[in-house]
């Protein structure tokens, strides 16, 4: 993965100019945060469930080795196989090897962020397999060869017209292909369903992720609203589940508690349309000797255990933090240049790819704290972002101008008299510069900030003088 720092500047500036994106994000701003709030009103036990979820996830992280070994034993006892992958390359190679071993040609997938993280589609396609995403949003962005823009709604950045245009370009020989101007959402859904039906029936291998891995029963729990994960799991002759090691939970009771938090926080639903529990040979529709593989991905997670960033491993990928983030609301997910966008991505990505390649992401925040307040597992996202920022500063990874600015600020902050003098002088200077219009449009510093907004001219006393009751400025 390339360095995100300068990419973020470019991509976020492009995103702010993208009118299609702005209208899509407008819907997101109201929609998902409102449905979450309405769902919580109907669920007064939310805070109680949240406390329990934090306790259980922290307990699992303290005893991660125990629960992962219990999970492995439960899967193998039922005839499944568990594969351990230390990093992204090992995880993708494991899946490629499994597909080869089972003489597969066609692979179908349900939505899975960890498979995005390990770039599984690219590895499978490079190895000669035909891969089809079956979640509608993932299918659309696969056709467009774009990364997801949201961990719950990967195509949330697109308008209906853009989707219609994409289908018109790719479904040229399909009887239900239609011109974009005649497309309605229901028509597009029908069209995708008809195209995907044959892919389900022809696939050799079905790959799903897992929202949770139940240690005592060896079960992978997958939540969808389309039912595509069930078809991926049941129809092909081989099932592969790919999941991060952080997904393990002790038992079904604790899983149920987490599910109640997940769906309400993600889409405002009391429960998802489909909540599926997959175990080796656990489907009435599948033959008892059908191969079941569980690929457990570390990829930097175990390094976080016991570190000051460990709390991010509680994340259940609900997306609420990005639905409430004022930065995400303006630029969308793709501007982050990483698989995981928004506040949780700003904490996850440095752990996955290294802070030296992503130091800009923890800085791309207003630190308003909304993300932490809506997180159903109480992850202190602003504190974790600040930890990365502090480390970036210690390692000299932040821009030279920022370092100089901080040094200057520190010098003045340690000398209150000089600080008051400089802020008074700055206030007077800015008031003089903006005397004609009452605001400023450009300055030698802060050009990026002023490119999108005006700075009102300061009026009257500085904050410090007001606090001291000092009238000398007048």
The 8-class DSSP code of residue 364 comes to S
Contact with ligand SF4 (CB under 6 A) among 25, 88, 220, 318: 318
Give 107 or 381: the residue with its C-beta nearer to ligand SF4: 381
Contact with ligand SF4 (CB under 6 A) among 71, 96, 272, 379: 379
According to CB under 6 A, which residues from 169 to 228 bind ligand SF4?
none
CB of 315 to ligand SF4, least distance (A): 3
- Of 316-324, 393-401, 429-437, 459-467, the window that binds ligand SF4 (rule: CB under 6 A) is 316-324
Specify whether the CB–CB gap between 156 and 150 falls below 8 A: yes
Contact with ligand SF4 (CB under 6 A) among 203, 377, 384, 427: 377
Give the Cα separation of 454 and 462 in Å (integer).
Answer: 19
Rounded to the nearest 10 degrees, what angle do helices 400-413 and 416-433 cross at? 120
Give 206 or 342: the residue with its C-beta nearer to ligand SF4: 342
- Of 38-46, 217-225, 277-285, 311-319, the window that binds ligand SF4 (rule: CB under 6 A) is 311-319
- Of 58-66, 114-122, 291-299, 310-318, the window that binds ligand SF4 (rule: CB under 6 A) is 310-318
CA dist 144 to 156, 223, 276, Å?
Answer: 13, 25, 29
Contact with ligand SF4 (CB under 6 A) among 236, 319, 332, 434: 319
Contact with ligand SF4 (CB under 6 A) among 375, 384, 392, 427: 375
Contact status: 49 vs ligand SF4 (CB under 6 A): no
What is the separation of C-alpha 63 from the centre of its chain, rounded to a whole number of angstroms?
25
CB of 36 to ligand SF4, least distance (A): 10
Give 352 or 381: the residue with its C-beta nearer to ligand SF4: 381
Contact with ligand SF4 (CB under 6 A) among 25, 88, 229, 344: 344
**Which helix H or strand E contains 239, and what residues bound it?**
strand 238-244
Contact status: 71 vs ligand SF4 (CB under 6 A): no
Contact with ligand SF4 (CB under 6 A) among 164, 215, 238, 320: 320
Give the Cα separation of 162 and 431 in Å (integer).
Answer: 47
According to CB under 6 A, which residues from 244 to 273 bind ligand SF4?
265
Specify whether the CB–CB gap between 11 and 335 falls below 8 A: yes
Contact status: 352 vs ligand SF4 (CB under 6 A): no
Q: How many residues sit in the footprint of ligand SF4 (CB under 6 A)?
A: 15
- Of 7-15, 317-325, 326-334, 415-423, the window that binds ligand SF4 (rule: CB under 6 A) is 317-325
Contact with ligand SF4 (CB under 6 A) among 56, 210, 220, 316: 316
CB of 340 to ligand SF4, least distance (A): 9
Q: What are phi and psi of 371, to 5 degrees?
A: -60, -45
Give 121 or 263: the residue with its C-beta nearer to ligand SF4: 263
Sequence-distant (6+) residues with CB within 8 A of 285 are 234
Of 77, 322, 112, 332, which Cα lies nearest the Cα of 219? 77
Long-range pairs for 49-52: beta carbons < 8 A, 24 or more residues apart: 49/257, 49/260, 49/261, 49/376, 50/261, 50/376, 50/377, 50/378, 52/254, 52/257
CB of 378 to ligand SF4, least distance (A): 8
Give 206 or 382: the residue with its C-beta nearer to ligand SF4: 382
Contact status: 315 vs ligand SF4 (CB under 6 A): yes
Contact status: 317 vs ligand SF4 (CB under 6 A): yes
- Of 123-131, 314-322, 398-406, 420-428, the window that binds ligand SF4 (rule: CB under 6 A) is 314-322
Give the Cα separation of 40 and 376 in Å (integer).
Answer: 11
In the shown chain, the binding pattern of residues 270 to 309 toward ligand SF4, with x for contact by CB under 6 A and - for none, equals ----------------------------------------
CA dist 336 to 40, 144, 233, 292, 296, Å?
Answer: 29, 18, 32, 35, 26
CB of 343 to ligand SF4, least distance (A): 6
CB of 71 to ligand SF4, least distance (A): 21
Other C-beta atoms closer than 10 Å to the C-beta of 256 total 15
CB of 141 to ligand SF4, least distance (A): 19
Give the Cα separation of 435 and 474 in Å (integer).
Answer: 16
CA dihedral in degrees (87, 88, 94, 96; nearest 10)?
-160
Give the Cα separation of 270 and 273 in Å (integer).
Answer: 10
Other C-beta atoms closer than 10 Å to the C-beta of 168 total 17
CA dihedral in degrees (210, 336, 137, 301; nearest 10)?
-10
Residues that bind ligand SF4 (CB under 6 A): 265, 315-321, 344, 374-377, 379, 381
């Amino acid at each position: 993965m390339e360095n995100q720092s300068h990419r973020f500047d470019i991509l976020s500036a492009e995103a702010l100019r993208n009118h299609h994106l702005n209208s899509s994000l407008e819907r997101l701003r109201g929609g998902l945060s409102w449905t979450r709030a309405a769902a919580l009103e109907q669920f007064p036990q939310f805070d109680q469930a949240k406390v329990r979820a934090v306790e259980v996830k922290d307990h699992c992280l303290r005893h991660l080795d125990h629960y992962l070994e219990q999970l492995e034993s439960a899967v193998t006892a039922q005839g499944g196989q568990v594969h351990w992958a230390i990093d992204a390359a090992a995880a993708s190679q494991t899946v490629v090897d499994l597909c080869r071993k089972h003489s597969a040609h066609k692979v179908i997938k349900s939505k899975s962020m960890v498979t995005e993280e390990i770039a599984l589609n690219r590895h499978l396609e490079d190895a000669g397999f035909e891969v089809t995403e079956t979640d509608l949003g993932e299918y659309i962005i696969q056709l467009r060869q774009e990364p997801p823009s949201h961990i719950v709604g990967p195509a949330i950045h697109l308008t209906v017209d853009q989707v219609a245009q994409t289908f018109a370009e790719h479904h040229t020989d399909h009887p239900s292909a239609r011109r974009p101007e005649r497309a309605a959402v229901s028509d597009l859904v029908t069209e995708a369903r008809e195209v995907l039906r044959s892919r389900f029936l022809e696939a050799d291998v079905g790959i799903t992720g897992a929202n949770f891995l139940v240690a005592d029963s060896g079960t992978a729990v997958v939540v969808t609203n389309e039912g595509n994960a069930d078809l991926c799991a049941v129809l092909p002759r081989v099932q592969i589940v790919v999941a991060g090691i952080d997904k393990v939970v002790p038992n079904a009771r604790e899983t149920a508690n987490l599910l109640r938090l997940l769906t309400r926080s993600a889409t405002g639903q009391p429960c998802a349309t489909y909540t599926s529990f997959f175990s080796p040979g656990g489907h009435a529709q599948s033959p008892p000797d059908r191969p079941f593989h569980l690929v457990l991905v570390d990829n930097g997670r175990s390094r976080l255990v016991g570190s000051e960033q460990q709390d991010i491993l509680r994340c259940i990928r609900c997306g609420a933090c990005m639905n409430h983030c004022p930065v995400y609301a303006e630029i969308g997910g793709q501007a982050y240049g990483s698989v995981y966008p928004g506040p949780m991505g700003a904490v996850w990505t440095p752990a996955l790819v290294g802070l030296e390649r992503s130091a800009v992401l923890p800085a791309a925040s207003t630190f308003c704290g909304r993300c932490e307040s809506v997180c159903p597992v109480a992850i202190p996202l602003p504190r974790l972002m600040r930890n990365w920022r502090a480390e970036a500063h210690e390692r000299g990874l932040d821009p030279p101008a920022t370092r100089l600015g901080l040094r200057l600020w520190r010098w003045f902050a340690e000398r209150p008299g000089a600080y008051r003098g400089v802020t008074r002088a700055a206030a007077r200077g800015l008031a003089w510069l903006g005397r004609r219009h009452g605001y400023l449009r450009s300055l030698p510093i802060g050009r990026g900030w002023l490119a999108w907004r005006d700075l009102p001219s300061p009026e009257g006393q500085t904050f410090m003088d007001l606090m001291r009751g000092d009238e000398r400025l007048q």
